Structure 1
Amino acid sequence: MIFGKKKNKDSSNIAMMDSKVNQNYVEEKVTKIKDEDVEVVMENEEGISEKLSNASPLRKYAELGKIMFAMLKDVKKGNYPNVPWFTIASIVVALLYVFNPFDLVPDFIPGIGYIDDLAVLSISMGWIETDLHKYLDWRLAENEKA
């Protein structure tokens, strides 16, 4: 019982350190996103969507991925212009990270291969959740007009 408690305490410390490392990693990548990176995401929409749908740990993000792609398309077309660059960059970083098979923890490792993908997606979602809700509200309003 003593060993179990110590193990849990150490695990939570590792998880907190890992979360901070991932958050710093994501922040650094978001600040370096360029317009060309948005194009790369758009060109790879099918592959990214497929990975989100087929990797069981990432399935819960499949619908969010669709919303993110729709938002990027509407921004690119000029239909939805008032989006902070930070939001666009966060979406691009999250989706490119998921698409990249050579990330911090390779996806082919059973059981833990998607932990880093989940962390990057979760961190990004935490930052842009409000903007995604605004976008969905806008889409509902647009659909009601049509």
Structure 2
Amino acid sequence: MKLDRQKILDFFKKSESKASVILKDKAKAGDTIKEALGKAVTNKSDLEGVWAKMLLLFAVAKDYVNGDYTEIPKRSIVAILGGLIYFLSPIDVVPDFVPVLGFIDDVFILNLVYKQVIKDLERYKIWKDSQLKNSRYN
């Protein structure tokens, strides 16, 4: 099966637009992140190639929405939340219920988002590590 990259990217752009709207409502954004995490945990075996990246995307999104970490550009958090919204959609370019292939487009988008925001994620990891160190000493 050949993936239609442009169709996937167009669908992702719609997810980013939804993310911009959802980010204005912290409760709704938090619920979206929780729902996406639940789906990810349920389908972990299908997501092995991007699991560690997804956990980092979930962490930064959660810390951003909670107001704990705001040192990330708006476009990056919109891309991250857009990727999670894309992942949440059961009917995207390759519907999730299609055996074996159902998550292939989701993995493509999540990898794309990760690469797009990798510098921001590196800064986030440094911040997160410092938070953990500070909490051990307090």
TM-score by length of 1: 0.73
1:66–1:143 distance in 2 versus 1, CA, 3 Å:
same
If asked which structure has higher relative contact order (CA below 8 Å, sep 6+), I would say: 2
Query: Is the contact between residue 12 and residue 82 of structure 2 (CA under 8 Å) also seen in structure 1?
Result: yes
Percent identity between the two aligned chains = 25
Match of 2:92 among 103, 113, 122: 103
Structure number with larger C-alpha Rg: 1
Match of 2:30 among 42, 45, 48: 42
1:102–1:40 distance in 2 versus 1, CA, 3 Å:
farther
Deviates more, 1:123-132 or 1:44-53: 44-53
Asked whether 1:72 is paired with 2:58, we answer no
1:113–1:37 distance in 2 versus 1, CA, 3 Å:
farther
1:73-109 Cα shifts (integer Å, max 9, x gaps)? 3223333222111111111111111111121211111
What RMSD, in angstroms, separates the aligned Cα atoms of the two structures? 2.5
The runs of at least 4 consecutive aligned structure 1 residues that moved more than 6 Å come to: none
**Count of residues paired in the alignment:** 132
Unmatched tracts of structure 1, length 5 or more: 1-10
TM-score by length of 2: 0.76
Unmatched tracts of structure 2, length 5 or more: none
